[in-house]
Chains A and B, each alone.
Chain A
Amino acid sequence: MQLLRKFRGANNEGSLALILLVVVLGMSLLNPVFFSVNTAFSILRAATVPMILALAVLLVIISGGIDVSFPVVAIGSAYTAVTICLKTGFDPGLPAIFGMAIIIGGLLGLVNGFVIAKFRLPTLIVTLGTQGIFFGAMLVYVGTRYYPSLPASMAALSAVNVVELTTGAGRAYLHVLVLLSIAIAIAIWAVLKFTMFGRALYAIGGDVEGARRAGIRVVRTQLLIYVLVGMVAAIGGVAYVVMSRSANPQDLVGGELDIIAAVVLGGASIFGGRGSVLGTVLGVLLIQVINNSLLLVGVPSAWLRAAVGLLLILGVGVQAVSARRNSQRIHTVDDAVEAAGPELEKVS
């Protein structure tokens, strides 16, 4: 029982991993083509950008907010950086382009954070408003042009692979940016786990008033959250532009709800205070694997949207039902001792 509980994890990561495993195994039995390095690499590649964006959203959701402006921040900062390079005809190199985009993303995030933290407004409504502002501002002041080719340094990056294998089914590539998404995942995990800022996120998400009384500077932390989200989203935007080998200002926008769905599927609570990097990674991977396997089985791609919706209902529904069952259970002192397990016994 103890082991089972531990495996399930705080946010159902265990169950999610199990579902993922079952899907992969089932697909491999149904269609041996599925179980190949090629498939794995292509799923990882497809998951790279959603993963980075989902990790950004995770930060907001843990803090009890919701951000719908991040796709615009992502594509806006990447597109602006690309435009500056192409218009001036000067290629400052990859670090500078990433740096430029991250600064722009951070500034846009600062706008969000300022309005939200300073005036204590509902985050969904504020980011809805800033989404319109950012999107319009990008198209009016930066440009509406589609750039089919990128600055040389970015174009070069889009052809770099970490691993290249020749398998029976052809050549398999693992794009270098996959490593970037893994690095960001580890970084955010470390921030959430080991820093005061990370603990403050959970505290604010759990109860703002409680966090304030516990001495957490809510306004400053919230500002920092949205700046950080803007910066991570900007990295995601540059990654997207590099991987699609072109810059289109209208891309990514409108996909915000899909990413939020992935994060929620990964066990993050929309009310805040709960969520983990592992869960988010599993949530994004699960959606990508299911998309990929539905296509392999021959289900028309049109069903993918519905499949994600169904998955969301199942995932969230199971959690809702079990939460209700828990709340209906009569809690006794013995129960608490058992739940706390060895730690409590150690103390006594």
Chain B
Amino acid sequence: MKTEQAQPETGANSFAAMNNRIGRVVAEAVGRTLRDRGVSRMLIALVAAFAFFAIMRPQIFLGPINMQNIMVAAPEVGVIAIAMMLAMLTGGIDLSLVSIANLSAVTMSTLFTMMAASNPATGQSMTVPLVLIGLLVGAACGLLNGLLISLVGITPILATLATMQILNGIAIVWTGGKTLYGAPAALTTFGKTALGPVPMLFIVFILVAIVIATVVRSTALGRKLELQGANPVAARFSGIPSRSVLIASYTIGGTLAGLAGVLFLCRNPTASADYGASYVLLVIVIAVLGGTNPNGGFATVAGVVLATLTLQVVASGFTALRLSPYQYSIAQGVILVVVMILDTINWSRPKLRKPAVTTDSASLQTTQVGSIKKDKEQE
């Protein structure tokens, strides 16, 4: 009924097209429901959120500007969320990702300003090396995390909490707490260009998602990451080199965070130590909503991409409805808690009967591990 009322405002064609699209999406969602919990529920949430705001405020929400805004804003959060997903896949967490992204952006901006000061032309011509340096900063920070976690043996949450403080501190000292201006024009132009209706930034995001999805799904490294997260002890005794797997995981995550720093600069030629401080917790929310198991072992990139889009749709929908960002903060929390609760309700029945069995197998496992350890020691 409501769609019919809205029809004269937007034109029948676009609505028919949208209906078609929704119809197809729903059919696909239903087909996937049994296969993939994170993907399916996020698909449903995305469609529901989209439909809700499209019906409430079709003129503003469905306008091309809003659609573009969603696609331009999503990549930087989404790329960090994918990095967070990688850390969570191995059963860890990476709180330092946003600090890494900021440090990478600050490094690029500082180097660019330095070069541009001596000769504006060389500054502009150095775009590609600058981007590489940004990624390298990210990779180095990620490697540091990986070493602390795997070699020193610090718990991921504490190691990355510490590196978050350190990297953020370095960025604050470096910038003096101020916002830096200056980025290669090529990056800014890249941030503004679009392929048809789709901004380049969004294409980068999708490419990153595809690459990481392929790595997780069809490479040996991806399988090792999953096994490491599912059961570290079992992984160790099946000969998975947990150290190098963890180092690889955090280094890739750091590199992605460095890429997010590049995206920061593409969207806005400024860099500061405190940019996106609220992202730290937001990306955890996205990763969990996207079906990542916080205890490790299970994650889908598609789910994370959909969760990113859903939250972005809700955010822009709230703006379209003239609701405050604080109300968005409430919505974000409610979505997270409700989704988590719905999950347990679906899963609680088989779980209730399980404990006796699972604990037995767990204790069995530890005794086995113990005996293996003893054997080793006797040797």
**Is residue B158 contacting chain A, with contact meaning CB distance below 8 A?**
yes
Chain B residue with Cβ nearest A304: B169
Q: Are B340 and A125 in contact (CB under 8 A)?
A: yes
Chain B residue with Cβ nearest A115: B337
Q: Are B281 and A136 in contact (CB under 8 A)?
A: no
**Is residue A129 contacting chain B, with contact meaning CB distance below 8 A?**
yes
Tell me which of A119, A133, A313, A330 contacts B341 (CB under 8 A).
A119
**Is residue A164 contacting chain B, with contact meaning CB distance below 8 A?**
no
Q: Are B333 and A132 in contact (CB under 8 A)?
A: yes
* Chain A stretch 36-70: residues in CB contact (< 8 A) with chain B: 66, 68
Chain B residues with Cβ under 8 A from A144's Cβ? 326
Among B161, B168, B328, B336, residue most surrounded by chain A Cβ atoms (within 10 Å): B161
Q: Are A308 and B333 in contact (CB under 8 A)?
A: no
Among A129, A270, A300, residue most surrounded by chain B Cβ atoms (within 10 Å): A129
Tell me which of B153, B162, B172, B285 contacts A128 (CB under 8 A).
B285
Q: Determine how close the nearest CB of chain A comes to the CB of B319; give it in whole angstroms.
A: 15
Among B173, B281, B284, B344, residue most surrounded by chain A Cβ atoms (within 10 Å): B281
Count chain A residues whose beta carbon lies closer than 8 angstroms to a beta carbon of B.
Answer: 51
Tell me which of B159, B170, B333 contacts A130 (CB under 8 A).
B333
Q: Are B334 and A129 in contact (CB under 8 A)?
A: yes
Task: Knowing A132-B332, A133-B330, A136-B326, say if A309 contacts B152 (CB, 8 Å).
Answer: no
Tell me which of A133, A264, A310 contacts B333 (CB under 8 A).
A133
- Total A-B contacts with CB atoms under 8 angstroms apart: 152
Chain A residues with Cβ under 8 A from B159's Cβ? 313, 316
Chain A residues with Cβ under 8 A from B161's Cβ? 257, 260-261, 264, 309, 312
* Chain A stretch 258-274: residues in CB contact (< 8 A) with chain B: 258, 260-261, 264, 270-271
Q: Determine how close the nearest CB of chain A comes to the CB of B266; give it in whole angstroms.
A: 26
Chain A residues with Cβ under 8 A from B337's Cβ? 115, 126, 129-130, 133
**Is residue A340 contacting chain B, with contact meaning CB distance below 8 A?**
no
Q: Determine how close the nearest CB of chain B comes to the CB of A334; give it in whole angstroms.
A: 15
A interface, by DSSP: helix, strand, loop or mixed?
helix
**Is residue B375 contacting chain A, with contact meaning CB distance below 8 A?**
no
Chain B residue with Cβ nearest A69: B333
Task: Knowing A128-B285, A129-B333, A140-B330, say if A312 contacts B162 (CB, 8 Å).
Answer: yes
Q: Are B166 and A306 in contact (CB under 8 A)?
A: yes
Chain A residues with Cβ under 8 A from B359's Cβ? 209
Among B332, B344, B377, residue most surrounded by chain A Cβ atoms (within 10 Å): B332
Chain A residues with Cβ under 8 A from B330's Cβ? 132-133, 136-137, 140
Q: Determine how close the nearest CB of chain B comes to the CB of A269; give it in whole angstroms.
A: 9
Chain A residues with Cβ under 8 A from B186's Cβ? none
| A122-166 interface code vs B (CB 8 A; 1 in, 0 out) | 101110111111111101100010000000000000000000000
Q: Are B172 and A302 in contact (CB under 8 A)?
A: yes
**Is residue A320 contacting chain B, with contact meaning CB distance below 8 A?**
yes
**Is residue A217 contacting chain B, with contact meaning CB distance below 8 A?**
no
| A307-348 interface code vs B (CB 8 A; 1 in, 0 out) | 111101100110011011000001000000000000000000
Q: Are A306 and B277 in contact (CB under 8 A)?
A: no
What are 17 residue pairs bridging A and B, where the CB atoms are less than 8 Å apart in the complex?
A125-B294, A126-B340, A128-B285, A129-B334, A132-B329, A133-B337, A136-B331, A260-B161, A270-B158, A302-B169, A303-B169, A305-B172, A309-B162, A310-B166, A312-B158, A316-B154, A320-B152
Further 14 A-B residue pairs, CB within 8 A, beyond A122-B295, A132-B336: A125-B284, A128-B336, A132-B329, A132-B332, A133-B329, A136-B331, A257-B165, A261-B161, A264-B161, A310-B162, A317-B148, A320-B152, A320-B153, A324-B153
